[in-house]
Amino acid sequence: MPGLTDLVGLAGAAAAIAAALLGLPGIARLRRAHPAPLLFAALGAAFVPLGALPAAGYLRGIVGDLSVTTGLLLLRGLLRPVLGWAAIDARSRLALQILVAAGGVVLYPLALGYGSFDPYRLGYANPWFLGGLLALAVAAGLRRLTLVTWCLALAVLAWALGAYESRNLWDYLVDPLVAAWGLGGILIRGAQGLRLPRQTYRLATSSTAQNVGKAQFSPSRQTTLTTSP
């Protein structure tokens, strides 16, 4: 009988596989009409034995246990068509992307030795780290960033319950996949922000040129040119 840590780890991997299968172009169209059956089929496919292990077991062996943040995002994405949930609001998504991207950028290079300080040690029940997360969760709640609050609260709860094999809180908060998602979202948003002023400038320039052209070739202008000595 698998233990709690194995069940949680396999569930996260199965959710990732199901999300990938349901995101395929052909299946995505069918999902709109039959969300629940396709969800159960995709989750079942993740546990189909492939030799000694199911597909979810192989994925877990490759990427490790996914963070609670990634699991919550996957779960919400899988259940949204079934339960009719609204999309994540832009403010909460951006706030979470900034947090996980910052966590990944700070954590992984320093943990690999690119600096004198190792932030990974803070995850072993450091009271200041826990207090900072609590303050951040409260601030997110006051700002109505619900997604951020849920991710922080559930990550700390799972860590307190020992849901993963790891006893480091960082592994419950962030993983390379969600850090890449956050960083990619920020970069895309930044690129769109840079493109918008250029498009606005081009539209304004084009509009000005058209107005000048109309003024030069308007009937009143032509009459003036014709009657002038």
The reported pLDDT for the residue numbered 197 is 61
| Average pLDDT value over all residues in the chain | 85
Amino acid 193: pLDDT: 79
At 183, which amino acid appears?
Answer: L
pTM: 0.81
**3-class DSSP assignment, residue 52:** coil
Task: State the Cα–Cα distance between residues 46 and 40, nearest whole angstrom.
Answer: 10
Structure tokens at 208: 């000005």
* Helices 68-83 and 4-22, packing angle to 10 deg: 50
Rounded to the nearest 5 degrees, what angle is found at the Cα of 67, between the Cα atoms of 35 and 167? 145
Q: What is the pLDDT of residue 196?
A: 62
118-172 pLDDT per residue, tens: 889 999 999 999 999 999 999 999 999 999 999 999 999 999 999 999 999 999 9
- Per-residue pLDDT at 67: 96
Residue 182 and residue 95 in contact, taking contact as beta carbons nearer than 8 Å:
no
pLDDT of residue 228: 45
Low-confidence ranges of the chain (pLDDT < 50): 209, 221-229
Nearest to 172 by CA among 161, 182, 160, 159: 159
Q: How far is CA 51 from CA 11, 18, 45, in A?
A: 19, 19, 14
Amino acid identity, position 140: A
